Amino acid sequence: MARPPEHEGPLPKEADVVLIGGGIIGVAAAYYLAKKGLRAVVLEKGRIAGEQSSRNWGWIRQQGRDLAEVPIMREANRLWQDLAAQVGEDIGLKTCGLTYFASDEADEARYEAWLADAKPMGVDSRMLSRDEIGAMFAGMRKSYRAALHTPSDMKAEPFVAVPALARAAVKAGAVILEGCAARVLDRAGGKVAGVVTEKGRIRAPEIIVAGGAWSALFLRNEGVNIPQLSVRATVAATKALPDVHGGGAVGDRLAFRRRQDGGYSLASAGYHEIYIGPDSFRHFPTYLPQLIREPFARAYKPLAPKGFPDAWGTKRRFDGAGPSPFEAMRILAPVANGTIIESIRQEFEALFPALGKVEIAASWAGMIDSLPDIVPVVDRAPVPGLSICTGMCGHGFGIGPAFGRIMADMVSGGEIGHDLSRFRLSRFTDGSKLDLGPDI
């Protein structure tokens, strides 16, 4: 682990709520629970935001969301602004606007269809003409026919924002333990009674699983099956460059965002890699509609590295008596795809020739927890006292504060304030036809 632990200490004997996973959702939920005066304990096997919550693009977007997510994302935008004022640290939050370029008529039609449905929900998104794109992205060599733009969308620095929120949660009264893996649930009378961790047992009547790419492995061992898989996405950060655009945008092959350090985050648009493992075969029928719609949106790798959640050698059954798979791999840190890095570097360099030579300062990859219909599970589990918030499909950073707030109210009897039926766990087993999220 390159980063030393910031949150250490003894495992409390009991809590009101235990949160499994120290990403944006687990940390945000702990923050809002602590603000309610409840004893919240976050168990993180590695480091706070060590995985996807610090490896994403840093976009905070309403644009292109599944319609069921739009009201929640609008709340998230408000919460991000509140949190930026409350944490007492600069998290790089800025209202910058985000843009989707339309490469062809099909892109433009998809964006217009989404806008027609989302506009009545209060978003300020609008379509840009070719001339408006040229004025907004001066110096961009490629010309696009149209674009979808949302002026109120924001950005923040993920590797700064989530640890800052964790410190604010601790200040509010939450307990966070890094390097403390949850092994199994502790149960009594068919209900949740706590968690067995590598450091012992903690009693609690409510447990929230927000473990990202690890959630399905933990839950399946508890008899709760979710068809969640993970895909690898590669991101790079350039060295400092002149400011060609202060927000974020994505086209047919490249996504970019201006960073607080003066560089740009670059990523390959719409391209992911999946390691074929036991769960890939188990859930193949459920993913078939997505595969049919986007047959070339991902590359397939035959073997996951040792210790990955869906690696062939990863234990599927374990108990609290000995080490679990979560201790075998503290931080899921896949190797970045060097070919992709060079490709997106060249794409960005060619897109803005006035920048001259674009140099890469750092690169990384993350495993994005995904579900067949491209929306998460946010629900109570069949086990009394167990709740789930996982499968964010690469959208979790931006919406994280709102889902964290929702989970805090879900387990404490508060007002959820949104229709969560779209995100119910039972949609995978109740015979419902899966409705895929927006292809934008």
Burial (0-12, 13-18, 19+ Cβ within 10 Å), 429:
exposed
Q: CA 213, CA 55: separation in Å to the nearest integer?
A: 13
Q: CA 70, CA 399: separation in Å to the nearest integer?
A: 10
Q: What is the pLDDT of residue 293?
A: 80
Task: List the one residue out of 315, 289, 314 whose CA is nearest residue 372.
Answer: 289
98-102 and 248-250 strand pairing = parallel
- Read off φ and ψ for residue 126, nearest 5 degrees: -155, 160
Q: What is the pLDDT of residue 3?
A: 77
Strands (E), 59-145: 59-60, 94-95, 98-102, 126-129
Q: CA 122, CA 75: separation in Å to the nearest integer?
A: 11
- Read off φ and ψ for residue 408, nearest 5 degrees: -60, -40
Burial (0-12, 13-18, 19+ Cβ within 10 Å), 99:
buried
pTM, full prediction: 0.96
Strand partners, 143: none
- CB count within 10 Å of CB 157 equals 19
Kindly report the CATH number that applies to the domain delimited by 17-428: 3.50.50.60
The 3-state secondary structure of 221-267 reads HCCCCCCCEEEEEEEEEECCCCCCCCCEEECCCEEEEECCCCCEEEE
First vs last Cα of the chain: how many Å apart? Answer: 36
Q: CA angle at residue 232 from 227 to 235, to 5 degrees?
A: 140
- CB count within 10 Å of CB 114 equals 23
Q: CA 211, CA 46: separation in Å to the nearest integer?
A: 11
Q: What is the pLDDT of residue 296?
A: 62
Q: Where are the domains of the chain?
A: 17-428
Token pair belonging to 336: 């970045």
Q: CA 362, CA 208: separation in Å to the nearest integer?
A: 34
Task: List the one residue out of 325, 294, 322 whose CA is nearest residue 310.
Answer: 325
According to DSSP H, which parts of 151-238 are helical? 158-172, 215-221
Q: CA 23, CA 195: separation in Å to the nearest integer?
A: 18
Q: What is the pLDDT of residue 1?
A: 40
According to DSSP H, which parts of 87-157 are helical? 105-118, 130-136
Residues in the chain: 440
In order along its 440 residues, the chain shows pLDDT tens digits of: 467 899 999 999 999 999 999 999 999 999 999 999 999 999 999 999 999 999 999 999 999 999 999 999 999 999 999 999 999 999 999 999 999 999 999 999 999 999 999 999 999 999 999 999 999 999 999 999 999 999 999 999 999 999 999 999 999 999 999 999 999 999 999 999 999 999 999 999 999 999 999 999 999 999 999 999 999 999 999 999 999 999 999 998 999 999 999 999 999 987 889 999 999 999 998 998 888 787 667 788 988 999 999 999 999 999 999 999 999 999 999 999 999 999 999 999 999 999 999 999 999 999 999 999 999 999 999 999 999 999 999 889 999 999 999 999 999 999 999 999 999 999 999 999 999 988 67
Q: CA 197, CA 202: separation in Å to the nearest integer?
A: 8
